[in-house]
Amino acid sequence: MNGEPCNVPRSTTPVDSTETGLAGFMSALSRRLRRPLEQFFVRRLGVGPEIDDLVQEVFERLLRQKRLDAVDRLDGYVFTVAANLLRDRVRKHSAQGGRDVALDCIPDLSDNITPERVLIGKDSLNRFLAAIAELPERTRNVLMLRRFEGLEFKAIALQLGISVSAVEKHMLRAMDELSRRLDLE
């Protein structure tokens, strides 16, 4: 591209060996993060035709970055770009006389992060991970496939060779156990 060197980010993202350079990396990144980005925007804006445009614009902004290879936590950076894009759209919409859209649904990435908040966050994360680790293996697998992979109950049932009803029961068990262990009730 324009004779510039191709900066491929250091990431844990697997890139197919048939794909090379920035275009291949972006293609792999798009395949991996498109659905989570869509969910990010849907949770904040609801379902609508603008969701695909917003996801596409995130990748366009990423392509304009000069040094993506300097980004340590690429996934977090991608969602920071998405949050900033959403803020820009909300501000633009409000400035053009559109209906008021609450910015509360968008994470404020400029919050002052204190050492105390970091320690509280680390402690919460460690408790959460410990609670997940203590779940029975099948229940833990169902939880991971549903919450972290975004699979539907039917797909989980097929993958694990169990019924949809069993998947539902494992999910309920996982949520009950995590709520109990983490005092979320």
All domains of the chain in start order, with CATH = 21-105 (1.10.1740), 115-181 (1.10.10.10)
User: What's the whole-number average pLDDT of the chain?
Assistant: 76
Do residues 145 and 158 lie in contact, with contact meaning Cβ atoms separated by under 8 Å? Answer: no
pLDDT computed for residue 135 by the predictor: 92
| pLDDT tier, 9 (very low <50, low <70, confident <90, very high otherwise) | very low
pLDDT computed for residue 17 by the predictor: 34
Residue 157 has pLDDT above 60, yes or no: yes
Amino acid code (one letter) for 116: E
Strands (E), the chain: none
Amino acid code (one letter) for 185: E
Structure tokens at 34: 């498109």
pLDDT computed for residue 169 by the predictor: 94
